[in-house]
Amino acid sequence: MDFRQEFIEFAIAQDVLRFGNFRTKAGRLSPYFFNAGLFNNGAALGRLAEFYAKAISASGIVVDGLFGPAYKGIPLVAVIAVALARSGRNLPFSFNRKEAKDHGEGGSIVGAPLAGRVLIIDDVITAGTSVRESVDLIRAAGASPCGVVIALDRMERGSGELSAVQEVEQNYGIPVLAVANLDDLMSFLHQRDDFRQNEAAVARYRQEYGLARSA
Cis check: omega of the bond before 71, within 30 degrees of 0 = yes
Active centre residues (catalytic): 101, 103
From residue 47, give the alpha-carbon distance in Å to each of 42, 108, 141, 171, 193: 9, 29, 32, 32, 25
125 annotated ligand-binding residue: yes
123 annotated ligand-binding residue: yes
54 annotated ligand-binding residue: no
128 annotated ligand-binding residue: yes
24 annotated ligand-binding residue: no
157 annotated ligand-binding residue: no
Number of Cβ atoms within 10 Å of the Cβ of 200: 11
Q: How is 148-210 classified by DSSP, letter by letter?
A: EEEEEE--BB-SSSSBHHHHHHHHH---EEEEEEHHHHHHHHHH-TTTGGGHHHHHHHHHHHB
33 annotated ligand-binding residue: yes
148, 119 Cβ separation under 8 angstroms: yes
126 annotated ligand-binding residue: yes
Q: Residues comprising the binding site for orotate?
A: 33-34, 126, 154
Provide the annotated binding site.
25, 33-34, 71-72, 97-98, 101, 103, 122-130, 154
Q: Which residue numbers belong to the known binding site for 5-phospho-alpha-D-ribose 1-diphosphate?
A: 25, 71-72, 97-98, 101, 103, 122-130
